[in-house]
A and B are shown apart, each in its own frame.
Chain A
Amino acid sequence: MQNILVVDDEIELSKLYQQELRDEGFNVMVANDGFEAINLAQKNTIDLVVLDIKMAGMDGLEVLNEFRMKNADIPVILNSAYSTYKDDFSTWLADAYVVKSSNLDELKNKIRELLKI
């Protein structure tokens, strides 16, 4: 079973993602801020990260930079309510960018694509 790390400070949304992705057959870990995410990634084997951008403290792009320096090969999907950053080259370090939506089909498809399932 592949491990997915969901990083989002919206707790209710994290729970929803956890539930939905578990239903899809993934093992899901949740971090509610950037520091916790880096911590979890150091202690666990992570196959893919779903990462929010706007978070208190350390924001998603800073977390992304940390991941790239330490775990360059882990696929990262930026998942933000900011659709405007989708075309911004500040997000190019990520493997994919999915705008948050109540419909998680796009996110799930992108996860399968990156994990080659």
Chain B
Amino acid sequence: MLADYSSISDIEKHAFADKTLTCYRNPIFISGSGGKLLWHNVEFQEFASKYMSGKSVQQVADIIINRKGIAEQNDRATGFSLASKAAENSPPTDFWVNLSRLMAGEGAELNVCQISKTPSASRVNADRNYSLAAVINQIGRKLDMSYRLDETLKIILIGATAGEGLGFNRAFLLLYDSDSGLYKGEIAIGPSDGHEAGAIWSELVGAHKTLDELIDNYNHAAGKYDVKVNNIARRINLPASDLCPALNEVFLTHKPRLVTKGSCQSSGKIGCELFGILGVDSFAAAPLTVEGSIVGLLLADNLITGRNISESDLEILGIFANHAGTAVQRSRMYERLQNKIELLAQANERLKESQKRLIESEKLTAIGKMASDVAHEIRNPLSVAGGYARNVRKKAGEKHEYSEALDIIIKEVDRIEEVLDNFATVSKAAPEERVVFNFSQLVSDVLQMVNSNVVASEPIIDIIEIENNIMVCGSEKQLRNAILAFSKQFINVGGTSIPVGAILKPVGDQASLSFLCKPDDAGKSRIRRVLSNILVSSPLKRETDLVIASEIINQHSGSISIEHGKDRPLSIVINLPIHKE
């Protein structure tokens, strides 16, 4: 009703006149800024007179408003008990004071106070439920903002153990590991003995007032005490079946339950040993369920206080575990997404690197071709000039007057031809530092890059088999360019209509990389076309990268061969010595 009024003046003008609040029979008062009493009912005046030693209504309001600790609680209604005496000699009477702090429209605060007799048990329960609902709400908000699994797990456990939360002494979180098929202890918080409990709780109580603050600062305040309890957690491994009856029921019903030594019935089945590991006679177990499957288990106990775990505790733990299950699943999905993003980023980096190498390869090809063409254009006329000089010199004999001059010409032509030989060699592979590297990875990268550059629905080079971790010693960069050159040949010459397979495996002491057709007639026919094109193509039309590639293989003590047989596919095989430690 007060929400209808936007200011204190509104309240003064209207609220009291229309008897909005006067219908209540309990003592009620409203105070404004500085505790000034704005309004009270008759019952409040009677209460002050009868139960507060005849103090004035303003004095009683001041006592209530200024009660220590109440002033800070401004986000929701606060209840507290107040013992009062009608007279010095009369016995104290307990009252329940319900104080709400409201913000009026002009930024001013209003305190609305209602006094009743000490609340009933149902009221106490209602207040507790309200408090728990607020805790679950806060934890939910925190979980909503958390995407990292470790952070999510910690929030769940803090919620289960913090005094303001579910209030268990310790909590353990088990997550399902699909590889092993076990629920494994992942993380735990709480003290391992009374001494640690005292240290943890005094730090938490002294430093943090709200659950939000506690979650934000937990690692700094109390995380250091969790080492022992985490060691306990890591000893827990539970299968999903063949469990002791009590735990088995949790898995069958998907509901939380109290697991006691009695309920376990010392069945000797898996799970009974948990009492020994945890050092308690009973604990609560709640499943973390997502879409019908149990993704984890939340175990909680009261090792230190020994407080009994009630049905109500279990119910709340169950709600909490459901909430937590969804958060865990979401965190896992987020982590998987992050991993995918990371893999994509790595693939993108590799692609960029491959494209860079491709450009380097193209440059190498262009330089090689240019050097080769220059050498060719000079060598032809030089061969004619030098050849005739030799021819004339041979016929002239030793005593001819031009013999000496012809010898000089021949000598200088030889010099130029030697320069041309070196020039041509430069256009081939330059020597580079040799290292041991993973040839399997290199081949895989190159083939994937070649395939990714082909516009076709299917890859042109089908990677049939690449045996992992074949190590080769040499120049990784040069061999990458060489393998790239051979791979590209199949595409450049054959086009996307000629699928070729690739196999890398060790054969004796050699790494054997085969480019081969699939073992059918059509495939053989296709690869013959590729080979034929390679063998007879015009040097004027061809790039010189294959020449350089061959030279690189030779320089690495490798070889290139063609293999074929009656029942074997036709293939080009590149062999390189395997590096052995």
Contacts and interface: CB of A to CB of B under 8 A. Distances in A.
A19 B421 CA distance: 26
Contact of B539 (A13, A54, A89): A54
A16 B384 CA distance: 7
Contact of A12 (B384, B551, B560): B384
A117 B318 CA distance: 100
Contacts of A59: 538-540
Interface in A26-69: 53-54, 59, 61-62, 64-65
B538 A84 contact: no
A19 B394 CA distance: 12
B535 interface: yes
B152 interface: no
Contacts of B538: 59, 61-62
B28 to A, nearest CB: 103
B380 A100 contact: yes
Contacts of A104: 387, 390
A114 B200 CA distance: 95
Given A65-B535, A83-B372, A84-B547, 7 more contacts: A13-B380, A61-B538, A82-B372, A84-B544, A85-B547, A89-B550, A93-B535
Interface residues of B, number: 43
User: Taking chain B's interface residues, is the majority helix, strand, or loop, or is none over half, making it mixed?
Assistant: helix
B539 A81 contact: no
A102 B341 CA distance: 63
Interface of B: 368, 372, 375-377, 379-380, 382-391, 410, 413-414, 417, 420-421, 424, 427-428, 534-540, 542, 544, 546-548, 550-551, 554, 560, 562
A12 B385 CA distance: 9
Contact of A87 (B372, B388, B414, B554): B554
A93 B383 CA distance: 25
Contacts of B562: 89
Interface of A: 10, 12-13, 16, 19-20, 53-54, 59, 61-62, 64-65, 80-85, 87-90, 92-93, 99-104
A89 B380 contact: no
Contacts of A20: 387, 391
A83 B544 CA distance: 11
A83 B375 CA distance: 8
A53 B537 CA distance: 11
B295 to A, nearest CB: 59
A82 to B, nearest CB: 5
Nearest to B420: A83
B420 to A, nearest CB: 8
16 contacts: A12-B384, A13-B384, A16-B387, A20-B391, A54-B539, A81-B379, A81-B380, A82-B539, A84-B428, A89-B546, A89-B562, A90-B537, A100-B383, A102-B385, A103-B390, A103-B417
Nearest to B548: A84
A19 B546 CA distance: 36
B387 A13 contact: yes
A50 B12 CA distance: 120
A12 to B, nearest CB: 5
A12 B386 CA distance: 12
A111 B196 CA distance: 97
Nearest to A59: B538
B534 A89 contact: yes
6 cross-chain pairs, A with B, having the tightest CB-CB distances, nearest first:
A102-B386, A81-B379, A81-B376, A65-B536, A16-B387, A83-B424
B543 to A, nearest CB: 11
B410 to A, nearest CB: 7
Contacts of B417: 101-103
